[in-house]
Chains A and B, each alone.
Chain A
């Protein structure tokens, strides 16, 4: 089976596992979740009771199999139910408002961190033992600071004390979201500090990983052969060593993505950034289960999709994968 089809099948299985887990988790807990939720939110309409029952599978509305079928149909139609904390807002509406913010901020910052970190890793690996290696312990320390902790410290120092950045939210107060320059510039202004925090904390990880792979690659015979041919250093480093070291780095990028995104989501709450993280975390603190589950599905699907894109890139940059695609 061609490489990409095999990967696609794998991601479909992963998506199905996530969907199924999401379906069974609320049904596996003891006690009546609907009663508990209704007790917490006295302003819920009785009609919400039925919707909740159907969603959480309490009160046995039909067999488990038919519930599961209905659930899958609902998900395909982006119908994730109704928020209980912000009743009667639909979960899909709340998600739709949050997704663009997270996608722009976390996506851009993660990609920037990956490229800058990989570039620095190439330099550090090539100049093994040089000046970049001397800051390694510092980088390791930065790498292990919890995202949200660094976010809070930076917020306190740079935004609250020095007034270099706006304090919170995704855009200035009183602005109406739209495609006009006042709004966009305000949104960019508000995203700088969160983006900076993501880049700072995740950059070191990419850099350390790339450095280690580079050092191992530089010792390979083909690098020596390239040098013996008298190729310029720049060409040896970029086309021979870095090109090969990039493959494990890209694979690592896919696997670490879930981790990085999770960290970035927790960080959103610190900046009150109106993205998925804040939505998920407000849902946690208000026990808004439908929103929590919707967020989980959307985040999981986004990470799976990103992994699929990385696999496509791998086919493009790795001739061995391409050869496998061509022969099979």
Chain B
């Protein structure tokens, strides 16, 4: 007698925890946890940084012997060519850059929710026109447009950068949210709300938008990520208020004062690493959100070891034969539907393997 057990049936059941809040945190994908902690760290630096920074970022030490000093006890990250403390500039810069990116993220995401939901809900000509605008803005390369827009703006200040970055950033989220709204609007609970005579704005606010929180969070994270990259790149090429101390202007001054060829890596490397780490935190967070909404992406559904063999999700469905033998241990033999499978019964080493199932 042979019992055939499809192995995929034993896929892990969701872990249920009796502690709601900490349990929910524990169930978050590791990537999301690392991303959230890293991002939280940067937010704390942004808030506390200016208070604990040892010097004013603009303080120029009059003594020429203190310019371009390598890291020391007095200047943990060394000094710039005019004797400014790099650590103080970095702490201020993280705050400024993050603040700008978050403002852009909030406004642009709000815009994409408004445009996306109304395009889907109003339909018809409104939908066509709004999506045409979104697609046109998406397809025009942003950086050259930013450069000519900000190039004519005499001050090139922070406010102008925020306005322009917001104006160019809402379409991506708006497209996704429109698609999601279309899918949700056809669901039963929305029809039920409509039948009970709910007003349109109430249906939108309490039935549709709450169901898009994951998508809204993802597009916020993406916008912040983009705004950090774009504002740093713009400042690096000099299209920004160069008297402020953002991470981008730090890089601009370090580059234009030849920090690297003078060997002053401590001036140039920290702001770049800070930008990349902030970006990594956001990408990790985004991957975590993806894994939450798409269970197939989770690591738990990836590579598994079955009876001592590596089994990838793309491999053909494995099947376990349990064959009781006379006076012997129960034989567990893995084989599969596919001739070409790695897990063929006829291969040596597999026969009689009663290794534990994992």
Of A69-77, A177-185, A190-198, A279-287, the segment with at least 4 beta carbons within 8 Å of chain B is: A279-287
Q: Which residues on the A side are within 8 Å of B142 (C-beta)?
A: 258-259, 262
Residue from A126, A230, A262, A289 within 8 A of B314 (CB atoms): A126
State in angstroms the CA–CA spacing of A216 and B314 once bound together: 11
Residue from B135, B138, B283, B313 within 8 A of A143 (CB atoms): B283
Q: Which residues on the B side are within 8 Å of A250 (C-beta)?
A: none
Tell me whether A120 is interfacial, beta carbon within 8 Å. no
Q: Which residues on the A side are within 8 Å of B251 (C-beta)?
A: 146, 148-149
Q: Which residues on the B side are within 8 Å of A266 (C-beta)?
A: 143, 233, 236-237
Q: Which residues on the A side are within 8 Å of B303 (C-beta)?
A: 127-130, 133
Q: Which residues on the A side are within 8 Å of B340 (C-beta)?
A: 230, 232-233
State in angstroms the CA–CA spacing of A218 and B316 once bound together: 11
State in angstroms the CA–CA spacing of A68 and B104 once bound together: 33
Tell me whether A140 is interfacial, beta carbon within 8 Å. yes
Tell me whether A227 is interfacial, beta carbon within 8 Å. yes
State in angstroms the CA–CA spacing of A224 and B336 once bound together: 12
Instruction: State how many angstroms separate the Cβ of A295 from the closest Cβ of chain B.
Output: 6
Pairwise interchain contact A300-B144, C-beta atoms closer than 8 A: yes
Q: Which residues on the B side are within 8 Å of A317 (C-beta)?
A: none
Tell me whether B272 is interfacial, beta carbon within 8 Å. yes
Instruction: State how many angstroms separate the Cβ of B335 from the closest Cβ of chain A.
Output: 13
Pairwise interchain contact A17-B140, C-beta atoms closer than 8 A: yes
Tell me whether A21 is interfacial, beta carbon within 8 Å. yes
A287 in contact with B280 given A144-B275, A149-B251, A258-B139 (CB within 8 Å): no
Tell me whether B337 is interfacial, beta carbon within 8 Å. yes
Pairwise interchain contact A130-B312, C-beta atoms closer than 8 A: yes
Tell me whether A51 is interfacial, beta carbon within 8 Å. no
Pairwise interchain contact B317-A224, C-beta atoms closer than 8 A: yes
A215 in contact with B313 given A25-B149, A304-B139 (CB within 8 Å): yes
Binary interface encoding of chain A residues 138-150 relative to chain B, with 1 for a CB under 8 A from any of its CBs, else 0: 0011011111110
Q: Which residues on the A side are within 8 Å of B317 (C-beta)?
A: 224, 227-228
A212 in contact with B297 given A228-B337, A289-B152 (CB within 8 Å): yes
Q: Which residues on the B side are within 8 Å of A128 (C-beta)?
A: 301-303, 312-314
State in angstroms the CA–CA spacing of A224 and B143 once bound together: 44
Tell me whether A22 is interfacial, beta carbon within 8 Å. yes
State in angstroms the CA–CA spacing of A284 and B148 once bound together: 8
State in angstroms the CA–CA spacing of A128 and B66 once bound together: 53
Pairwise interchain contact A26-B143, C-beta atoms closer than 8 A: no
Pairwise interchain contact A145-B314, C-beta atoms closer than 8 A: no
State in angstroms the CA–CA spacing of A26 and B302 once bound together: 55
Binary interface encoding of chain A residues 254-268 relative to chain B, with 1 for a CB under 8 A from any of its CBs, else 0: 110111011101100
State how many residues of chain A have any CB contact under 8 Å with chain B.
79
State in angstroms the CA–CA spacing of A140 and B143 once bound together: 22
Closest chain A residue to B336, Cβ basis:
A227
A215 in contact with B236 given A145-B272, A146-B272, A258-B139 (CB within 8 Å): no
Closest chain B residue to A227, Cβ basis:
B316
A216 in contact with B297 given A127-B303, A128-B303, A284-B239 (CB within 8 Å): yes
Q: Which residues on the B side are within 8 Å of A261 (C-beta)?
A: 141
Tell me whether A312 is interfacial, beta carbon within 8 Å. no
Q: Which residues on the B side are within 8 Å of A228 (C-beta)?
A: 316-317, 337
Tell me whether B268 is interfacial, beta carbon within 8 Å. yes
Tell me whether B56 is interfacial, beta carbon within 8 Å. no
Pairwise interchain contact A237-B314, C-beta atoms closer than 8 A: yes
Tell me whether A160 is interfacial, beta carbon within 8 Å. yes
Closest chain B residue to A254, Cβ basis:
B139
Pairwise interchain contact A265-B313, C-beta atoms closer than 8 A: no
Q: Which residues on the B side are within 8 Å of A299 (C-beta)?
A: 141, 144
Kindly identify, within residues 225 to 247 of chain A, every residue whose CB is under 8 Å from any CB belonging to chain B.
Answer: 227-228, 230-233, 236-237, 241
Tell me whether B315 is interfacial, beta carbon within 8 Å. yes
Pairwise interchain contact A287-B151, C-beta atoms closer than 8 A: yes
Q: Which residues on the B side are within 8 Å of A18 (C-beta)?
A: 140, 145
Tell me whether A118 is interfacial, beta carbon within 8 Å. no
Residue from A10, A25, A233, A263 within 8 A of B148 (CB atoms): A25
Q: Which residues on the A side are within 8 Å of B151 (C-beta)?
A: 284, 287, 289, 292
Closest chain A residue to B299, Cβ basis:
A129
State in angstroms the CA–CA spacing of A262 and B287 once bound together: 24
- In the assembled complex, 11 residue pairs joining A and B whose CB atoms fall closer than 8 Å, in A order, are A127-B312, A133-B303, A208-B287, A227-B337, A233-B314, A262-B143, A266-B143, A266-B233, A289-B151, A300-B141, A303-B140
Chain B interface (Cβ < 8 Å from any Cβ of A): 31, 34, 132, 135-136, 138-145, 147-149, 151-154, 225, 229, 232-233, 236-239, 251, 255, 260-261, 268-269, 272, 275-280, 282-284, 287, 290, 294, 296-297, 299, 301-304, 310, 312-317, 337-341
Given A160-B261, A208-B287, A218-B314, 8 new contacts (CB under 8 A): A133-B299, A146-B229, A153-B260, A227-B338, A228-B317, A258-B139, A287-B151, A303-B140
Chain A interface (Cβ < 8 Å from any Cβ of B): 10-11, 13-14, 17-18, 21-22, 25-26, 29, 31, 33, 125-130, 133, 136-137, 140-141, 143-149, 152-153, 155-156, 160, 208, 212, 215-216, 218-219, 223-224, 227-228, 230-233, 236-237, 241, 254-255, 257-259, 261-263, 265-266, 269, 280-281, 284-285, 287, 289, 292-293, 295-296, 299-300, 303-304, 307
